[in-house]
Amino acid sequence: QVQLVQSGAEVKKPGASVKVSCKASGYTFTGYYIHWVRQAPGQGLEWMGWINPNSGGTKYAQKFQDWVTMTRDTSISTAYMALSSLRSDDTAVYYCAREALSTGYFEYWGQGTLVTVSS
Amino acid sequence: QSVLTQPPSVSGAPGQRVTISCTGSSSNIGAGYDVHWYQQLPGTAPKLLIYGNSNRPSGVPDRFSGSKSGTSASLAITGLQAEDEADYYCQSYDSSLSALYVFGAGTKVTVL
């Protein structure tokens, strides 16, 4: 069965960087886009961007364009999301999600990774 | 400020029918892009509930139904059950430059 398993919770100081991983299993990793969505405490869902695991191509939401980097390692079927220059309002749960083939919706989600930014 | 507008909360007694609206604009729902719905139980990841406006993934009870018209969409839950108490989010695609995939702010469904 399809699974997306994310790395564990992180605590970072303001100005630091964080890298969250998302390991895929149960399907051909290079066949489906991986998206990243975040959710601040008590808030809604916010789309950050996607990566095409086949080509490595990316598309970021304008808000995150200058400080997010999405990469992948096809040898271990893992996608990564790195966020730099962290601020306290980056404290959130970060989810990876697989998009169903060019359909615009997210059919499988990782369990989420809590990133806490605090001095 | 979310691109898609949802009511913050709706409530109903067990067995009742509740609906959640999702209002967009000419750059997303009104442009013909599909609307999808997710259910998020407390402390868990979102789960796909409705895709392509009105389609249910395998395993989703037929108590859940979706529709779309113009610049809006709706999610209906009939025969409300205690386990339906959750947050519900609509999502669509947006052709503006700021974000391609947009969500509503979420609606908390409370079973009285």
pLDDT of A21-51, one tens digit each?
A: 999 999 999 999 999 999 999 999 999 999 9
A98 near A24, Cβ under 8 Å?
yes
A22 near A5, Cβ under 8 Å?
yes
Name which residue leads in pLDDT, A103 or B80: B80
B88 touches chain A (CB under 8 A): no
B2 pLDDT tier (thresholds 50, 70, 90): confident
What integer pLDDT is reported at residue A80 of this predicted model? 98
Q: How far is B17 from chain A (nearest CA, A)?
A: 24
B78 near B65, Cβ under 8 Å?
yes
Mean pLDDT of B3-14: 96
**Chain-wide mean pLDDT for chain B?**
95
Nearest to B105 among A44, A104, A106 (CB): A44
Cβ neighbours for B2, distance < 8 A, ≥ 6 positions apart: A44, B102, B103, B104, B105
Nearest to A104 among B33, B98, B103 (CB): B33
Please check the confidence at residue B98 and state whether its pLDDT lies above 80. no
Share of chain A above pLDDT 90, in %: 96
The strands making up A68-73's β-sheet, listed across from edge to edge, are: A3-6, A18-25, A78-83, A68-73
Best probe of the B interface among A106, A107, A113, by most B CBs < 10 A, is A106
N residues, chain A:
119
**Chain-wide mean pLDDT for chain A?**
96
What integer pLDDT is reported at residue B96 of this predicted model? 84
The strands making up B18-23's β-sheet, listed across from edge to edge, are: B18-23, B72-77, B64-69
Sort out which chain A residues have CB atoms less than 8 A from B9's CB and list them. Answer: none
